[in-house]
Amino acid sequence: MTPLQKFSVFVLVVMGLAAVAAGTLFGVSGDPATACAGFSLMALLVFGRRILRNRDGPALDERDVSIGRTAQLVSYGVFWLVFVGAFTAAPFLLGFERSVSLRMLVLTPFVGAWILLVARSIATLLLYARGG
């Protein structure tokens, strides 16, 4: 496994933990704002820097950089489809007279970052599996 593959797996594990924590807190409290505390586990990503090291040579070479760039593009595509798409479609599906609580709104940056990072990590792993 390349350091970038290991980092992608690490990101998926951290994102999984954050989602479980946020879901549990939301389930217990029923308050979306409290669920933000679960997403704070995303801060564990700072420890991922140690993974992006390779004692035997460069941590990232031209193939890794190319895969990283493609994965970034894919993740932006997924982000726009899912995140922006959900916001755009919501009034059409639920009605223009409905409102969103600020307690719910505070979750949106965390959910957006979560979608972006998960999509990027999955795209990275799939691109490596395809050969790069």
Residues lying near another protein in the complex (CB under 8 A): 1-3, 54, 56-58, 60-64, 129-132
User: To the nearest whole angstrom, how small is the minimum distance from the Cβ of residue 124 to another protein?
Assistant: 13
Which is nearer to another protein, 7 or 79 (by Cβ)? 7
User: To the nearest whole angstrom, how small is the minimum distance from the Cβ of residue 126 to another protein?
Assistant: 10
User: To the nearest whole angstrom, how small is the minimum distance from the Cβ of residue 64 to another protein?
Assistant: 7
Q: How many CB atoms neighbour CB 55 within 10 A?
A: 5
- Closest by CA to 124, choosing from 132, 115, 113, 114, is 132
Which is nearer to another protein, 49 or 130 (by Cβ)? 130
Which is nearer to another protein, 30 or 131 (by Cβ)? 131
Alpha-carbon distance of 60 to 64, in angstroms, equals 5
Sign of CA dihedral 58, 60, 64, 69: negative
